[in-house]
Amino acid sequence: MGRRGDLSKEELKIIIKRINDEEAFEVFYRDCYLRNLRPATIDYYKNEFKAAIKNLNRPLVECEQKDLEELIINSKKLIKVTTINTRLRALRSFYNFLYKNKHLETNPMKNIKLLRDRQKTIETLENKEIELLIKTIRKQKTFVGFRDEVILLVFLDTGIRLSELIGIEVEDVRDNHIIIRKTKNLFERTVYLSETTQEQLKRYIKIRGTVGTQKLFINRDDNDLNPHSIQTRFAKYRKEANISKRVGPHTFRHTMAKRMIIAGIDAFSLMTLLGHQDMSITKRYVNLWGPDIERKHEQYGALKGLKFRRC
């Protein structure tokens, strides 16, 4: 047999120097740092890559489309669609970067699409549930209890994320508004407070006093507050109040969005207040709470009050 033909795919692999996983991660994370991505985003990439390698049982830079398809098929037996899509988004960013910068000859994610997932109803709290929650928190009569009440009011008033709340410093509170600096998209924004929240926040700051940290919300030892402890405490309040729904920062965020939509806020203003990067998530909120929008239409519809006479 002669050697006049082209080299086989396997033979080409021997000749062409390929980047290994360690080198690929180094250049990818360097780019993440240069783009000033949040530490949490970089940690997300690291965790997802580690999980993918474990399931693929081979280096990521050696994977082909069929390997990723096999990963999806096997993952569907073990984890939720949302979790699979989260992993696929991380892999897409990784492979797109490597292919764009000519570290890979082909992009194995090119024809891989996210899995379709059924849109689930987002739980929100009703008036009675919010009142019951506040009543449960107030039973404590402690600094931590009062702090948690104020945290609840800030969440419901502003719809900020847990990471954003943790990042608030005392100087960021300005009368009827708060400057949110530690945002997901790195763009500072302003959120506004009702009179009730303003009054309670002023009382909290007075009780808080001067401590060693500038963070607004502190723990009982006067140190920075751990975000996990907030989730744990509100889960505890939910149980004590006998509320069947989930109770936490995301529930408060969704509750704020729903109440403002029902009150008549426009989608663009809501998008700005919530810190969404585009309108897609905001539109989803509007669609999810369609029945409430329907009632608003019945009340304020453009044809309401007009009298028509048949010709």
pLDDT of residue 30: 95
**Tokens 């702090």 -> residue:** 147
H or E element at residue 98:
helix 81-100
Angle at the Cα of 156 from the Cα atoms of 131 and 208, rounded to 5 degrees: 90
Task: Give percent above pLDDT 90 in the chain.
Answer: 61
Please tell me the pTM assigned to this model: 0.68
Tell me the C-alpha distance between 132 and 311, whole Å: 56
At 38, is the secondary structure helix, strand, or coil?
Answer: coil
Length of the chain: 311
When pLDDT is averaged across residues 250-262 and rounded to a whole number, the result is 88
pLDDT at 93 over 60: yes
Q: Binning pLDDT at 50, 70 and 90, where does residue 9 land? A: low
> Average pLDDT of 208-230?
94
Closest CA to 129 of 23, 245, 207, 214: 245
Q: What is the pLDDT of residues 117-172, one digit of tens each?
A: 766 667 889 999 999 999 999 998 899 999 999 999 999 999 999 999 999 999 99
Whole-number Å distance between alpha carbons of 81 and 119:
11
Bridge partners, residue 190, by sequence: 179
pLDDT greater than 50 at residue 304: yes
CB 261 within 8 A of CB 293: yes
**Measured CA distances, 269 to 14, 168, 266, 272, 276 (Å):** 57, 22, 6, 5, 10
Report pLDDT for 182.
85
- Cβ atoms 61, 104 nearer than 8 A: yes
Separation in Å, CA 303 to CA 130, 177, 262: 35, 37, 19
- pLDDT score of 119: 62
Which two three-digit tokens encode residue 7? 């080299």
Q: Is the pLDDT of residue 245 over 80?
A: yes
pLDDT at 220: 93
The pLDDT of residue 53: 93
Give the tokens for residue 217: 């919300």
Residue-wise pLDDT for 274-299, tens only, equals 888 777 777 777 666 655 555 655 66
The residue-averaged pLDDT of 31-57 equals 91
* Cβ(293)–Cβ(286) below 8 Å: yes
215 secondary structure, DSSP code: B
